[in-house]
Amino acid sequence: MDASSAPFPVRHKKLSLDIQVIATQIGSMGTTLHARKEEGVSIHPTFSVSVIFGKRDEPVLVACARQLIEHISNCGSSRPLVLSLGLKDHSVGTLKGVVTAVIANRLW
């Protein structure tokens, strides 16, 4: 098998839903965030969310990523999350819809 026909090397899942708005409202990837659970000796877990690319002044996007990584961690996974949100509407309702859809479809 040559490199051009090799499968994409990273496991991935695809989901397309209508959540009040379409998650690709701007026709591009939008803001890309990285979220992970910090390893430590504390009883209470801590989480780190950083913006890799895009809008750094949108705390609601960071909150969305944090909610998702907390849920993923509580389900027993220690995997980090890379999330890309290309939205025109950054309302709390829209982001709750994104979180709900990802959790309902267990995209991790």
Digit-coded pLDDT (tens) for 51-99: 998 989 889 999 999 999 999 999 988 888 888 888 888 898 988 988 9
Q: What is the reported pLDDT for 15?
A: 64
16: left (phi over 0), alpha (psi -120 to 50) or beta: beta
Which residue(s) pair with 31 in the sheet? 85
pTM over 0.85: no
Per the CB < 8 A criterion, the answer to whether 15 and 65 are in contact is no
Tell me, what DSSP letter sits at residue 62? Answer: H
Let me know the angle formed at the C-alpha of 69 by 9 and 86, rounded to the nearest 5 degrees: 70
